[in-house]
Amino acid sequence: MVDGLGIGDVGNIVLKDRQHLSQDGLIIVVLAINGATGEIVSGPEIISRGFVYVRESENLMEEMKYTLKNRLKRFRRKPYNRLGSY
């Protein structure tokens, strides 16, 4: 861990954030959704830092992607009918 002692010292807030990440980890989900239809255009891509070792957890990552895709299907927009309502 960087302790902030020496060249290029970092502030206490940065050190506190790094400590939290080392203990708790972080997961970021990146995906693109068509605004008109609600369909997933790209992704999801999952970025994990300090949570699991990705190469040893490929099944977990694939399961997360599968679950995300299925949950997001609930939020797809219904197409407009000719009268402009759902």
- CA distances (Å), origin 71, targets 25, 46, 64, 79: 23, 15, 10, 19
pLDDT at 42: 92
Chunked into runs of 10 residues, the chain (86 residues) has average pLDDT values of 56 81 84 84 87 80 91 71 53
pLDDT at 5: 57
pLDDT at 44: 92
- Contact criterion met (CB below 8 Å) for 26 and 18: no
